[in-house]
Amino acid sequence: MAHNKENSDNMPEHKPTKKWPVWAGAAAVVALVAGAICVAIGTSNNDNDAANTVEAVKPVETIEAINEVDETETTEPEETQSSVSTANTITGMSSADEAAAHFNAATSVAAGTPSGIDLNRDGSWDVEIMESANSEVTVRIYSDGTTQVVDSDREETTGTLSQADITKIFNVALADTSGTIVSLDADDGQDREAFTVEVLSTDGTQVTELDLDANYTIIDREVEGASDFFD
């Protein structure tokens, strides 16, 4: 039996496998790297844009800060209380004759015996007049010379001032302290105090209070600011 020889021409043909060149794979790698770089650049640009956006907000913050500074600078300063000086605005009595004139004006309104006189901040004088043993009236004498009864009190015990008392008190007080007399009162005689006189210093900054006994001898003194006296 004859054997048929296999014909190579009848064998199924095999298609050769395609082989990509080496450079193609490298190109793909380069493309991937390039893409990553582009993404990184894009991210960096976005970051820069965000940073620029933040920088754009800064001027607003700066304006707010400037406004805060302006508000601080325009804050009105606290008011300060100036020191009170009475030297050029209020003048006390420098002689017993002045006191006598005030007492005479007061007794023309309320009959009685003087017991005291005090200077007010506005330049008016309050004169105390004993109408009776225990009734005291306050007569205010204004700077223009007009008079007015402003108060009436009952006093248990008090002293009175004669013209001789006033003259001696002025002499003793002004010999001790330079200035003018702004207050003069007859006390009730307790604790050795018969009279109290207050002297405003020449520069108008302080008032010296002197306590005198029945012999017109100074037995005590106290100094205070003029602003406290006229408060």
Element (H, E) at 229: helix 226-229
Alpha carbon distance, N-terminus to C-terminus of the chain: 157
More confident of the two residues 194 and 8:
194
pLDDT at position 41 is 46
Which amino acid would we find at residue 154? Answer: R
Q: Which of 157, 100, 158 is nearest to 125 (CA)?
A: 100
- Sign (positive/negative) of CA torsion 87, 89, 90, 93? positive
Q: Can you read off the two tokens belonging to residue 198?
A: 């207050």
Using the CB atoms, write b or e for 135-169: b if 16+ within 10 Å: ebbbbbbeeeeebeeeeeeeeeebbebeeebbbbb
Q: Which of 160, 40, 30 is nearest to 107 (CA)?
A: 160
Identify the three-state secondary structure at position 7: coil
pLDDT at position 89 is 64
Task: Evaluate if residue 178 carries a pLDDT over 60.
Answer: yes
Q: Which of 159, 141, 128, 131 is nearest to 102 (CA)?
A: 141
CA distance 191 to 182: 23
Q: Can you read off the two tokens belonging to residue 133?
A: 């043993």
* pLDDT band (50, 70, 90) for residue 204: very high
Overall average pLDDT of the 56-64 stretch: 49
pLDDT tens per residue, range 9-50: 444 444 444 444 443 444 444 444 445 444 444 544 455 454
* pLDDT band (50, 70, 90) for residue 114: very high
Q: Can you read off the two tokens belonging to residue 73?
A: 């600078």
More confident of the two residues 224 and 3:
224
pLDDT at position 22 is 44
